[in-house]
Chains A and B, each alone.
Chain A
Amino acid sequence: MAQTRSVVRPAFIRGEALLGLAFVLPIVVIMGSLVFLPLVTTVLDSFYRIDPMRAGQPFIGVKNYVDLAGDQNVRISWGNTLAYVVMAVVLETLGGLGAALLLNKVQRGRQWLLAAMVVPWCLPPVVNAIVWLWIYNPSYGLLNNVLMSLGLLDAPKVWFNDRGTGLFLITLVHVWRMMPLTGIILLAALQSVPRELYEAAKLDGAGSVKAFRLVTLPLISGGLAIAMSQSTVFAFNLFDEAWIMGGSSLDSRSIIVQVYLSAFQNLRFSYGMALSLLAMLASLIVSMIYVLRVYRETRMD
């Protein structure tokens, strides 16, 4: 980038810094006041007791965090979120990889197949959840109807009666929305793999599975890491689907639903802040793990 500046030295070079600052001033104001300031406040306030319904805001140290550790509801929410994350990352990565490999092979009409795949990502998650809730409806839903007409089910099932099934079905709606993103990231990665490598692998007698393992997989590992960390962060912050399909039910309550309930229904602001902070840290740490692992592995090759 440095060499680009040397050719012409505009006379207005002195104004450059001023102009740059003027251009980024709106960013500083908006991000500073609506993201960074609240973020700092979240950290600080989590050490105080801030409940809008109670007088005073005393410093209580790590009491919020200690309470969180002993809160049964919070523990169950962590478990649910863990289940969401594991299922979502696995399904999105496998499904997205399959879709990307397919799209990479399709020559005619790829643009339209890609468009069709992207549609679920573009829709409001709330609408997705409602549409799927109707599909899952125990009495008149499409899922029961299809399974029964295929002979796989004798009687209609109330899907959300079972916690595990409920978690899986909510995850499926989330996967329906987020898989296209994984697919697109991996398609971009696949398209950057040089064709000659496949030719060389074929000449060396490698079958398609072996070529995939030895050529494709290492070369798209960067894309995989990005896709998986995106999946992780989004699944960690799953709210819309869980809230629409399960409401405040403990069986499906994600950690962000718990934050929402703590802060805006039980009106325990600083308790919610402490929990939202922990959720953010957890999702950051997990996604960093992918990035670091892939970084290390690709460096060794």
Chain B
Amino acid sequence: MGTRARNSLLPTFGKALAVVLLLVWSLGPIYWALATSFTTPADLVSKVPHFFPPEVTTEHYARLFGGSSVSQGNTVQSVWPEFSAALLNSLLTSLAATILTVAVAAFGAYAFVRLRFPGRDILFILVVATMAIPAYTVMIPLYRLMISLGMIDTYVGITLIYVSAFLPLALWLMRTVYQTLPISLEEAAWLDGAGRIYTLVRIVLPLAAPGLIAAAILTFLNAWGQFIVPLVFSPTLATKPLTVLIPEFVTRNYVDYGLMNAAGILAIIPPVLLVIFLNRYLVSGLMAGAQK
């Protein structure tokens, strides 16, 4: 008993150390961004490192939200008009892409699993194979196509591009979900005279809810973080999202790290909330998406 306790002490200590290391590596930079966003500009450029803001300030956030604010004695114009427009654009395009992708995948994947129709397997393989093709490969012709359709800098254009980029993963995910559902429930419904669509909507989809949530989270996170697509297709604030706006704070007179970290912190709130409240679905989605 005594040797056993001694033997397990070292591994336990090592394990604890590894856990701390993993936590610091994963969350440390986020903490640093948070601390920076509450640090005064003077303290940001002080020679003494501060791991906690010596003087907590909300002036960076005030510049994002307020009308105008005072920084280092000067009145600084607020960036709220741009910031709010970009925030709205990010939310609208990501949510629209999520809803559309999950809806198309929910019905499409069901067809791939349960319905027989000509070209089913080849279509599924083709669509899933595009997961290996990065969106960048098709971006240039897509740009010309969107110009000819007049869909540059429109919500519809951006949303459709997102759907085309994230649909394969959602389809793959939903197919694995449907494959694990027993068909006996559907057969029972059919025997009772229920139609295909009624069965799918009332019986299958509720059972597949965890999968639908996972697909929705993955799509939303991918859309929310997208950069190169809006960089090309969203030239103005009409559809420009946060990911494109925030780096533009650099190209002003000087690099305003306080402001950028504050904006960054705001931009990571939705993803962080998803991780905190829905991490079970997120992890299962990532695991299913990575199988085979």
Report A's interface with B, CB cutoff 8 A.
4, 7-8, 10, 12, 15-21, 23-24, 26-28, 30-31, 33-39, 41-42, 45, 98-99, 102, 105-106, 111, 113-120, 122-128, 130-132, 134-135, 137, 139-140, 142, 145-146, 149, 176, 180-181, 184-185, 187-188, 223, 226-227, 230, 233, 236-237, 239-240, 243-244, 256, 259-260, 263-264, 269, 272-273, 276-277, 279-280, 283-284, 287
Contact = CB atoms under 8 A, between A and B. Distances in A.
Given A113-B19, A122-B274, A176 B29 contact: yes
Interface residues of B, number: 92
Given A23-B107, A142-B49, A131 B115 contact: no
B32 to A, nearest CB: 6
Given A30-B167, A126-B243, 16 more contacts: A15-B196, A24-B108, A24-B123, A31-B167, A41-B141, A99-B22, A111-B280, A119-B275, A124-B225, A124-B243, A126-B227, A260-B231, A263-B139, A263-B140, A273-B140, A280-B137
A188 B163 CA distance: 28
Interface stretch (B53-61, B67-75, B201-209, B284-292): B284-292
A113 B196 CA distance: 42
Contact of B287 (A20, A139, A140, A184): A184
Given A16-B115, A27-B108, A184 B171 contact: no
B19 A102 contact: yes
Interface centre among B15, B33, B110, B118 (most CB of A within 10 A): B33
B99 interface: no
Contacts of B228: 239-240, 243, 256, 260
B261 interface: yes
Contacts of B108: 23-24, 26-27
Contacts of A42: 137-138, 140-141
Contacts of B231: 260
Contacts of A273: 140-141
Contact of B26 (A23, A119, A145, A287): A119
Contacts of A16: 115-117, 196
Nearest to B46: A140
B141 A45 contact: yes
Contacts of A233: 132, 134
A12 B195 contact: yes
A119 B221 contact: no
Interface string B255-292: 00100110010011001101110011011001100111
A122 B271 contact: yes
B167 A131 contact: no
Interface of B: 15, 18-19, 22-23, 25-27, 29-30, 32-33, 36, 44-46, 49, 104, 107-108, 110-112, 115-118, 120, 123, 126-127, 130, 132-134, 136-145, 160-161, 163-164, 167-168, 171, 183, 187, 190-191, 195-197, 221, 224-228, 231-232, 242-244, 246-247, 257, 260-261, 264, 267-268, 271-272, 274-276, 279-280, 282-283, 286-287, 290-292
List the 9 shortest-distance A-B pairs measured between CB atoms, nearest first.
A20-B117, A20-B115, A145-B49, A124-B225, A38-B138, A23-B111, A34-B164, A38-B141, A41-B141
> DSSP class of A's interface residues: helix, strand, loop or mixed?
helix
A116 B30 CA distance: 11
Contacts of A21: 111, 117-118
B134 A237 contact: yes
B129 to A, nearest CB: 10
Given A134-B36, A137-B257, A127 B111 contact: no
A123 B268 contact: yes
Contacts of B19: 102, 106, 113
B137 A31 contact: no
Contacts of A99: 22
A35 B138 contact: yes
B268 A10 contact: no
A26 B261 contact: no
A119 B264 contact: no
A116 B272 CA distance: 10
B94 to A, nearest CB: 10
Contacts of A135: 29, 32
A4 B115 contact: no
Nearest to B190: A10
A115 B279 CA distance: 6
A101 B213 CA distance: 28
Given A239-B228, A277-B137, A12 B196 contact: yes
A10 B22 contact: no
Contacts of B36: 134
B171 to A, nearest CB: 7
Contacts of A118: 275, 279, 282-283, 286
Most A-side CB within 10 Å, residue of B117, B137, B274, B286: B137
A36 B142 CA distance: 10
A36 to B, nearest CB: 7
Nearest to A115: B279
Contacts of A230: 290
Given A17-B118, A280-B137, A239 B227 contact: yes
Nearest to B290: A185
B115 A184 contact: no
